[in-house]
Amino acid sequence: MKSVRIIPCLDVSNGRTVKGVNFVDLRDAGDPVELAQRYDAQGADELVFLDITATSDNRQTAFEMAQKVAATVFIPFTIGGGVRTVEDARALLLAGADKVAVNSAAVARPELIADIAQEFGSQCCVVAVDARFDEATGDYIVHTHGGRTSTQRTVVDWVTQCESLGAGELLLTSMDRDGTKSGFDIALTTLVSGQVSIPVIASGGVGDVSHFAPAAIEANADGLLAASIFHFGEVTVAEVKEALLASNVNVRPAYT
């Protein structure tokens, strides 16, 4: 039986953790390294750091932050944002990251996924997918550049290509639910998990402990990612794991 992973996500801008609603109206949530230490102590399974302005600012991602995190936490972590080449990925892995996430650059040049997977192994290659529902077409559409640009490409088409190119995991974010605290987009997550055989991390919309179990049980998510409820002390990782265990969802034990 698989263990569902609980993954705090830290969106980073100018060296600080931030959180917004629907990818806008950002507010400060603290120092990313300090938050990472907190989540490690609480029993998080993994961490995700997304440099959300690296692509839009046309700069490299935060290699120095990766080094600081690697020196202070003892759980796997992923870093994304501004990863455009195999050399960018190499630098992050050498700095201490366990995985790298690609998004905009991979949509523009899908072979980047294959290049990273072939160089470092699929287990290192995470594709972050920012999806928004399009009322006109009835499809979920992939967005890039921190959610600013619509690709007009359907999520199903994109995630199946990502898997075929060697992606080891998908980080699936519902832009419609991001920061709304209305719960994961179960329809979106179910759609994607039913199309691929690689792990899917559900992201976007968590506002309450009760929101985690449906994404694992109904949508078959392999990982459950949340941000603001952890950052602002509304709930701990241990409390989430206790609630999941009560719903018969297998998780690794938390510790204090």
- Scored b (16 or more CB within 10 A) or e, 95-114 reads bbbbbbbbbbbbbeebebbb
End-to-end Cα, the chain, rounded Å: 25
Catalytic residue list: 11, 130
Of 2, 1, 4, give the one whose Cα is nearest residue 244: 4
The 10 Å Cβ neighbour count of residue 168 is: 20
CA distance 239 to 14: 31
